[in-house]
């Protein structure tokens, strides 16, 4: 998969997660963009908040954001295990090409996904 295909599928998968509710304060996020607008990137995780987790051979790709109530909300960006692997491979390959850490590459992809979601809403 190339970058555009990955971005399109992530956006499509993320869409299925909404509406979503903060389990702490109960605020409702209508869609991905609403979620982005109402939450912030946790300061301590600025470069790594689009995380690729590798746990018991199950890849999980999470975006962490802080709700206004300070609760950290994890948004899984890929649900299908095969697609998770595709994203991990893509991030590893691109990071190698650019000679940057995989987390940094994940951050770049995150920023692109958010930018595209914003551009489309205008
Ligand atoms: Zn909250």
Residue by residue, DSSP assigns 24-92 as TT-PEE-SHHHHHHH-B--GGGTTTSEEEEEETTEEEEEEEEE-TTS-EEEEES--SHHHHHHHHHHHH
Of the pLDDT bands very low, low, confident and very high (cuts 50, 70, 90), residue 56 is low
pLDDT at 100 over 90: yes
Residue 66 CA to ligand 1 centre (angstroms): 8
Q: How far is the CA of 71 from the centre of ligand 1 (A)?
A: 6
Model pLDDT, residue 5 = 95
What is the total count of domains within the chain? 1
Average pLDDT of span 54-76: 81
pLDDT at 7 over 70: yes
**From the CA of 86, how far away is ligand 1's center (Å)?**
32
Token duo for residue 75:
């948004």
pLDDT greater than 70 at residue 39: yes
The residue range of the domain holding 97 is 3-121
Ligand 1 mean position, distance from CA 55 (Å): 27
25 phi/psi in degrees, rounded to 5: -105, -10
């Amino acid at each position: 998969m190339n970058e555009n295909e990955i971005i399109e599928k992530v956006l499509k998968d993320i869409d299925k997660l909404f509406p979503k509710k903060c389990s702490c304060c109960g605020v409702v996020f209508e869609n991905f963009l609403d979620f982005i607008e109402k939450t912030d990137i946790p300061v301590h995780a600025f470069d790594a908040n689009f995380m690729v987790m590798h746990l018991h051979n199950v890849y999980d790709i999470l975006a962490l954001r802080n709700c206004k109530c300070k609760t950290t909300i994890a948004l899984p960006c890929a649900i299908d295990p095969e697609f998770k692997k595709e994203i991990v491979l893509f991030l590893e390959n691109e990071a190698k090409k650019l000679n940057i850490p995989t987390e940094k590459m994940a951050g770049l992809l995150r920023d692109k996904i958010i930018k595209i979601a914003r551009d489309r809403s205008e």
